[in-house]
Amino acid sequence: MRTEINVSTGELVELPDEVVTPVEIPVTVPQEISKAQGITVMSKVPVGGSNLWLTVKAYFDTEADEVSRDLFKAITVFNRQSPMLNNLKGLFGLDDATLDQLFVEGAQVVV
């Protein structure tokens, strides 16, 4: 309880404490981040004794078909809606929430 004064009458009034409910601000997932931003964020995600970037790079260097390898080398941005990205996320152990978080964090990187 808190006490306030009614300025019109001079009367002291007991009022219940106000409960402030925090408002959650929705996080907007960027639809594109630069390849450099993506590399920076992926290099901080541990995978076994390595990191996610080196795992992805090794896949494209050794296992991907030639067209996929060339496309991966040519891209300058990662697009969240990319069919290639969404098809490969499971291969690297990523779900939608984790991929979204990588995009959110990537957008914060200044390169």
Q: Would the CA dihedral through 23, 31, 58, 43 be positive or negative?
A: negative
Predicted local confidence at residue 22, as pLDDT: 82
- For residue 19, give both structure tokens: 């409960």
Greater confidence (79 vs 26) lies with 79
Residues 49-60 have a mean pLDDT of 94
Predicted local confidence at residue 27, as pLDDT: 86
CB atoms closer than 10 angstroms to residue 60: 16
Residues 59-68 have a mean pLDDT of 94
Greater confidence (22 vs 94) lies with 94
Residues 2-11 have a mean pLDDT of 81
pTM: 0.75
